[in-house]
Amino acid sequence: MGMPRLRQAYTPHPVVDRSPADLRAYIEGADPVSGRPFMQEVLEGLTAPLDAADLQGLSFERTTPRLVEPDTEDNLQRLFEQNHWTDCLPVVLPTEARVEAMLKGTSHSPDTIVGRLRPTVFRESWEFTVEKVAVNAVMAGARPEYLPVILALAASGITARSSSTTSFATITVINGPIRNEITMNSGIGAMGPYNHANATIGRAYGLLSQNLQGGSVPGDTYMGSSGNWYAYTAVLPEAEERSPWQPLHVQKGFEPVESIASVFLGGWYTHAGYGPRATWKEKMRHALAAVEQYSPPLFVMDPIVARGFVNLGFDTKEKLIAWCADNALLTAREYWDNQSIQLLRPKAVAGIEPYASRLKAHPDDAIKIYEPSDINIVVAGGETQGAWKMISGALRATVSIDAWR
């Protein structure tokens, strides 16, 4: 921030889940960092005179080296783990030869700036090049032909290592010709762990996020309370050839021949079901009411399920999505009591729809908790079962893979 002398006062943690009396005790108590009374720190911060250093601020340059000091393979594996540069699984060490081979997967020069990432919106963004992305792709075990996909994810601006206390993960859907070119799996075991491209692209997205954004270190640049298993890797291609519906990327306005990565932020919950069976509406209503309402659903439907819905008259994804939006209901009381939904209250107060109408509703009224645009469906699976998954996932970015070939 350039303000090393910014006046700060600390209370104990957490503030979450503490009573008013607890919080008043924090305020009346000592700053756990300085040991001095908290309010004395606050009042001095407001009134104590500034000195020359306060008025000057502090400017400086930082950088990271291109190469690590030479060492043995064992020592480097240990160094990468100790530096929080891995996901705590062994990595492929990014030797110069391996990175050079990886770079053959794109036409872009190694020093091309790909983008910027940060663990959360109030932190600084770090910048990175094609070469730095390739380094992380090597570490994940990816092959050069996957690099355009990995570069697209790096360019999305969405980190796969959000520091949110709620433990987000990203889920990525791949559409278009690239799926078959790199033999991704949208069939049996599409969600893993049975395909090299699916697995390593997702892992690369995680590794590049934590390393290129300036870290993902628990208690520092990562604050997710429970963590998230989806964060190891979560990438699947849509089974476009076996789906009765438009592919996701075409729904979003792209041409079928374009290769597109869609990045969803979520991974909080996973519901599952079969069918559509005779009681599918009840099942779906229960599932939709049980979601964490701040994070809308991404459906992954086996082709058997998709064809079943077509037979029921849902001949487009949009029709089924509209039904889900009409039937995702909670009482206003339950909706607004949600911790994360509280973050939307100022929008509602400001009159922004649909939040304003949700706030105006009587607490016992059932309100729709999603707009159709919040909900997405992709088709994947091996047709060994009519199974569907409902995964927490808000669409945050759709990015061109072709731009990084």
Partner 1 sequence: MGQQITVHDPRGYPPKVVGKRLAPRLSALDGKTIYLVDCLFDNSDVFMEQLRQWFHDRLPSVNVRTIRPQETWSDDAQMRKAIASDGDAAILGVGL
Q: Which of residues 97-136 bind partner 1 (CB under 8 A)?
A: 99, 117, 120-122, 124-128, 131-132, 135-136
Rounded to a whole number of angstroms, the minimum distance from the CB of residue 238 to partner 1 is 30
Distance between CA atoms of residues 296 and 312, nearest Å:
24
Of 143 and 347, which CB lies nearer to partner 1 in the complex structure?
347
Asked if residues 299 and 287 have their Cβ atoms less than 8 Å apart, the reply is: no
What's the number of CA atoms in the CB half-sphere (13 Å) around residue 105? 28
Pick between residue 122 and residue 313 the one whose CB is nearest to partner 1.
Answer: 122
Q: Cβ distance 358 to 332 under 8 Å?
A: yes
Ranges within 48-87 binding partner 1 (CB under 8 A): 48-50, 54-68, 70-74, 76, 80, 85
| 118 phi, psi to nearest 5 deg | -150, 155
Q: Is 5 helix (H, G, I), strand (E, B) or coil?
A: coil
Question: Strands 113-117 and 169-175: what pairing?
Answer: unpaired
Q: Determine if 33 is a binding residue for partner 1 (CB under 8 A).
A: no
- For the bound state, the minimum distance from the C-beta of residue 71 to partner 1, rounded and expressed in Å, comes to 6
Closer residue to partner 1, CB minimum distance, 121 or 257: 121
Compare residues 85 and 404 and give the one whose CB is closer to partner 1.
85
Q: Which of 143-151, 204-212, 231-239, 378-386 is the region at the interface with partner 1 (rule: CB under 8 A)?
A: 204-212
Given 34, 339, 357, 373, the residue binding partner 1 (CB under 8 A):
339
Beta-bridge partners for 265: 170, 394
Q: What part of residues 264-303 is at the interface with partner 1 (CB under 8 A)?
A: none
- Residue 384's alpha-carbon distances to 187, 196, 279, in angstroms, are 9, 21, 21
| Residue (25 or 188) nearer to partner 1, CB | 25
Q: In the complex, what is the shortest distance from the CB of residue 163 to partner 1, in angstroms, rounded to a whole number?
A: 11
Q: How far apart are CA 121 and CA 162, in angstroms?
A: 9
Query: In this complex, which beta carbon is closest to partner 1, that of residue 12 or of residue 177?
Result: 12
How far apart are CB 214 and partner 1 at their closest, in Å?
6
- Residue 107 CA to residue 210 CA, distance in Å, equals 25
* Three-state SS letters, 331-370: EHHHHHHCCCHHHHHHHHHCCCCCHHHHHHCCCCCEEECC
Q: Is 146 in the site for partner 1 (CB under 8 A)?
A: no
Nearer to partner 1, 83 or 385 (CB): 83
